[in-house]
Homo-oligomer: A and B are copies of this chain.
Amino acid sequence: MAAVAAERSENTGASAIIDALRARLGERVTTTDAMREQHANTLTWLPSELPDAVVFPENTQEIVEIVKMCEEHNVPIIPFGAGTSLEGHLNAPFGGLSLDFSRMNRILAVHQEDLDCVVEAGVTRNQLNDHLRDTGLFFPVDPGADASIGGMAATRASGTNAVRYGTMRDAVLNLTAVMADGSVVKTAGRARKSSAGYDLTRLLVGSEGTLGIITELTLRLHGIPETILSAVCPFKTIEGACDATITAIQMGLGLARCELLDEVQIEACNIHSKLDLKLTPTMFLEFHGTPASTREQVDTFAEIAADNGGGDYQWAERAEDRNRLWEARHEAYWAARTYRPGAQVIATDVCVPISRLAECVTETKKDIAELGLVAPIVGHIGDGNFHVIPLIDMDNAREVEAVHGFLDRLVGRALAMEGTCTGEHGVGAGKMKYMQAEHGPGVEVMRAIKKTLDPHNIFNPGKVVELT
């Protein structure tokens, strides 16, 4: 792979600018195999495609200079945050520079009265929440991994508490981006709302580094709730869990987190965390509010659950008790990874209208069973979003072929139900092939925007939309 990438670099002209970059940035430009391999290493089964060099900028102005050089020499730039994306977003199919944001990790301002903060793109969400702890505020978007804020914005990440606090679409008040012509665009001020022109913030959120390079962001924060209650409830059926969730949302119950693990995932968690949970679809809930309002919510949900085939309902308030109740959910990803030792983990996600969720999960489980695959399911049920995690023996050609068909059918099923091919993982390289089916003529609009904003296709080429 390294050899192929080296050949490519000669084609793309990266070699032509590496010396100039070194003269400007010194040791913050590296071309070692180890570093290049690390920066193309994604959590998918997509093979790694290495960049020619890794560059560590320290501020927006340096990125402007890098972009101008790359634009002149047609060298791709792939922004790199924490490397936790799932669809091959960080691959360098045409070589180029991996732009590592780890040195741009300053928290520039916290405005407590405005419930916002300003950060550089390389700040991670745990770093930010540690920093905020004494302010009584927190940043809610939680995709699981300790991702960088820039990467989370670029992929429109969300996670467990999007049902209450929204996704990165909602969390970003403004962002600063370096465009392909080297201009630095700040998309908005810090007002909570604006109707002053095209929404460049939302255009760049979810653009996966293909339209501009995000360097700074202003984020909405929330007050840490006075009380947090957690609950766990096994259900007889997935339909029961979904129906209970629909009822709770219609009633305006303020679910802060609302997760579903299927019985396969529960078994994986039992093994991984030495638990003894019943092997049945199980919901993990969290309620935020005042002592009285959270207690009211937890009681109301108990009634709703009982009406929908919910079983032994447990809830807790103290942090250690909450952690114990939620242990299976917290460890779900790692439990899935170790459930079938040696297997390749293929974490994928789709999202459908919540009325179709039970049907979509049930049909998907039927497909899994018919193929004889091992594939736990974890759902952000309040959003209609679920992850399927096929664990594949890559030496078994039949299994590999089977999972290809399975993934295509999973997306086809979600689209047929007016859903989307990805709720929160993004398109990257892995899901480009589904964009036409999902968006039809909308892909042509995306392509037109890409071509006009990045005419030489230097920004993360080979991702999101196929250029024609």
Contact = CB atoms under 8 A, between A and B. Distances in A.
A271 to B, nearest CB: 31
Contacts of A116: 353
A417 B296 CA distance: 41
A336 B178 CA distance: 45
A199 B194 contact: no
B448 A452 contact: yes
Contact of A199 (B162, B169, B191, B223): B169
A445 B453 contact: yes
Contacts of A198: 203, 206-207, 211, 445-446, 449, 464-465
Contacts of A464: 197-198
A324 interface: no
Contacts of A440: 185-186
Interface string A182-211: 011111111111111111101101110001
A251 to B, nearest CB: 6
The copy count of this chain in the complex is 2
A200 B439 CA distance: 10
A446 B464 CA distance: 21
Interface in A256-309: 288-290, 292-293, 296
A69 interface: no
A135 to B, nearest CB: 10
Contact of A289 (B252, B426, B427): B252
A197 B292 contact: no
Interface size class of A (residues with CB under 8 A): 35 or more
A385 interface: yes
A445 B186 contact: no
B246 A113 contact: yes
B292 A427 contact: no
B438 A195 contact: no
A375 B444 CA distance: 48
Contacts of A151: none
Interface of A: 111-116, 136-137, 155-158, 162, 166-167, 169-170, 179, 183-200, 202-203, 205-207, 211, 222-223, 225-226, 246, 249-252, 288-290, 292-293, 296, 351-355, 383-385, 414-415, 418-427, 431, 434-435, 438-446, 448-449, 451-453, 464-465
14 contacts: A114-B353, A157-B195, A190-B419, A191-B384, A191-B385, A192-B354, A195-B206, A197-B206, A197-B427, A202-B203, A222-B252, A223-B249, A223-B250, A290-B296
